[in-house]
Amino acid sequence: MDALRIEGGARLEGRVKISGSKNAVLPILCATLLAPGNYRFDNVPLLRDVTTLCSLLRTLGVRSSREGETLLIDSTAAVPNEAHYDLVRTMRASVYVLGPLLARFGHARVSLPGGCAWGPRPIDLHLKAMEALGATIRLDHGTIDAAGAPLHGGEIDFPISSVGATGNAVMAAVLAEGETVIRNAAREPEINAVCDFLTDMGAKIKGIGESELTIEGVSELHPADHVVIPDRIEAGTYLVAGAITGGDLHLQGIEESHLTATIEAIQRTGSQIETEGEGIRIRAGSEISPVRFETRPYPGFATDMQAQLMTLLLLARGTSEIVETIFPDRFKHVPELARMGGDIRVEGNRAVVEGVSSLTGAPVMASDLRASAALVLAGLVAGGTTEVTRVYHIDRGYERIEEKLAGLGARIWRVTQA
């Protein structure tokens, strides 16, 4: 099993190219089930989650081939086979095949994903949305069995904003008969990207980027080519890498407007962030100021950046407070950061961070994707050696992280453990 070994203390400097967005490309690839044919995707990140999804799509008759950052998909022979537990359990985003399969074939069988490292993560809202479009849902030995041919337009009122449920609902509604209105729709850039892609395929969606979406179902869609938007979470992680190492980094290939909340939070800690050329430049401040922040649906501060910003605040001069409103249990990184000298107290969905003057390297274990990014960030600045094990979590969502960080001056290596 691979681990990342980091010798802390290097100041990061230089340019880094941000990859395509994991959370945008996953639903978008599932949308190819909606119309048979050939698709070309550019700026596709080389990530384990993308490979896993291509494996899942292969079991549904969809072929893919890759050349660098270009992914070619042929969904001509797509079939509504069951999405099996062995793939779904490794990646919750697999549930995104539900809406497209149901809309196109009138039937879908998708294994129920189950919990994840930081909590139960239900999919009830996905299922309610399918029911609102006329589907009948049955749970059959751990597998969701959804039927409804054809789907019809409906009213979907989400009680809370859900990225996944919104994506699934939109992908089902585009081929339903009649009009669908989705209220309290997620407004994350990744959802807008899905809607833009569906529009290019011939879907009729009004209100993209707003919390109410109106979809006029069409009888048929057609393939389209697509360039994946930049990954705002990877970008935010590199901003923290710059801030925590006292560095000076230039991030390229980003969409600055997607990063507003992250930039604002990191600026409040004392770093300078400015637009420069076609990217942004971060220059770390001389010290880190404590801040209070809470995670919120977009355009608020992303839960996927919570662990990384917490790592920066470990070294702030004073007390910071973090409130996690999206996933109240998402604090798996806390005990590992504490092993490196972090002083963090968790009370319910709130974490209080008392700044310390330094961190020390230690063997630590990655528990999930963003938690592992937080451990790598802590390792960059900790005295001595940090070894982050179970690095497969980080490979799910960060492309060539050790190469990118080493290119900026970090002392980081991938090691294979017996």
- Could you list the residues that contact ligand UD1 (CB under 6 A)? 23, 26, 92-93, 121-126, 160, 162-165, 186, 190, 302-304, 326-327
Residue nearest to ligand UD1 (CB): 164
Integer angstrom CA distances of residue 247 from 113, 273, 389, 400, 408: 40, 12, 26, 20, 9
Q: How far apart are CA 134 and CA 345, in angstroms?
A: 46
Q: Of 212, 216, 131, 211, which Cα lies nearest the Cα of 173?
A: 216
Is the CB of 74 or the CB of 255 nearer to ligand UD1?
Answer: 255
Is the CB of 74 or the CB of 294 nearer to ligand UD1?
Answer: 294
Is the CB of 91 or the CB of 376 nearer to ligand UD1?
Answer: 91
Enzyme catalytic residues: 116
CB 29 within 8 A of CB 223: no
**Minimum distance, C-beta of residue 48 to ligand UD1, in the bound complex (Å):** 13
Q: Of 163, 96, 123, which Cα lies nearest the Cα of 302?
A: 163
**Minimum distance, C-beta of residue 57 to ligand UD1, in the bound complex (Å):** 15
**Minimum distance, C-beta of residue 297 to ligand UD1, in the bound complex (Å):** 7
Q: Of 4, 6, 13, which Cα lies nearest the Cα of 245?
A: 13
**Token pair for 227:** 């360039």
Q: How far apart are CA 231 and CA 296, in angstroms?
A: 18
Is the CB of 249 or the CB of 326 nearer to ligand UD1?
Answer: 326
* Strands 143-147 and 136-140, bridge-based pairing: antiparallel
**Minimum distance, C-beta of residue 113 to ligand UD1, in the bound complex (Å):** 9
Q: Of 245, 117, 125, 257, which Cα lies nearest the Cα of 184?
A: 125
Q: How far apart are CA 185 and CA 201, in angstroms?
A: 21
**Token pair for 62:** 């969809």
Q: How far apart are CA 122 and CA 120, in angstroms?
A: 6
Is the CB of 117 or the CB of 406 nearer to ligand UD1?
Answer: 117
**Minimum distance, C-beta of residue 97 to ligand UD1, in the bound complex (Å):** 13
**Minimum distance, C-beta of residue 218 to ligand UD1, in the bound complex (Å):** 25
Q: How far apart are CA 30 and CA 99, in angstroms?
A: 9
Is the CB of 126 or the CB of 332 nearer to ligand UD1?
Answer: 126
